[in-house]
Amino acid sequence: MTIPIALVGVGKIARDQHLPTIAASPHFHLAGVVSRHADDLDVPAAATIAALKEQVPDLAAVSLCTPPMGRAALIGEALHLGLHVMVEKPPAATISEAERFAGMARAAGQGLYLTWHSRAASGVEPLRQWLSGKAIRRIAIEWMEDVRVWHPGQEWIWEPGIGVFDPGINALSILTHLLASPAEVREAVLRYPADRAAPIAATLALASDAAAEIAVDFSFDQRGPQTWTIAVETDAGHAMLRDGGGRLFVDDAEVAVPEGTEYGRLYARFAEVVAQGAIDADLAPFRLVADAHLIGRRETVAPFRWND
């Protein structure tokens, strides 16, 4: 028997990733949506989680695909109704808000999963295993994509604290999963369009007991081919993740990685969370983003235009 789940928010990420993944999932079936923009879906729809629960009494879980602002209220509503909760990244608008979620779930006795989808890319776990026992000398991250392609016309992406860190936090989620010790931000330069409240590019210098030098370059204005790479130099060879972690190269030779999709693995993990009533709520990537804003030097660049 599959778990009845509802999507809260049916925007681009829900349609591109969550809906097809749930449709193919052996663990879940879509029992409804909380959205005003899902008339094309053949499931119950409501304006609130509580209203949907009335329509679908056996609803057991929700997956939040809304923008990060206001997540505490949605999570609180779902937990109060006895639902397990899965959350799209980033988990909230602020660290203080996100830090409440685990305690809320624990008090309610429900499962909570704050997801980092790039950690579930096919090459990430094989690279983590390859790094075991090796001394990391340097890590170089280049994570560059075009906001016009991935968030067309979505003005919420330019809310303070988001911008280029919407994709950039994906790279940081992989980094914090690979490292055996926590990372910290030593320097940061954040480049803000003159007419926007969030950066369109960032350069970071990080360090960790597990890697003395970590260089990070983010852009949200990449034209043409998109770049998502993490290169690692060790005392026993080098490796690179490409295509957002989907492909792994060791000493310049591509190696086989497990089949499957990022979101397929996320929903498989959420099924475990539901079965165990577990809490999986790592905030390490989010803390690095917050630290980058705290110590980052601001530079102003040309205004942003959607149609440039």
Indicate which residues carry an active-site annotation: 89
Q: Are 150 and 203 in contact (CB under 8 A)?
A: no
DSSP 58-81: T--EEEE-S-STTHHHHHHHHHHT
Distance between CA 98 and CA 116 in Å, rounded? 14
Q: Cβ(80)–Cβ(23) under 8 Å?
A: no
Residues 6+ apart with CB under 8 A from 42: none
**Residue 57 neighbours by CB distance under 10 Å:** 7
Q: Which two tokens stand for residue 28?
A: 């879940």
CA distance 96 to 46: 29
Residues 255 and 178: their CA atoms lie apart, in Å, by 18
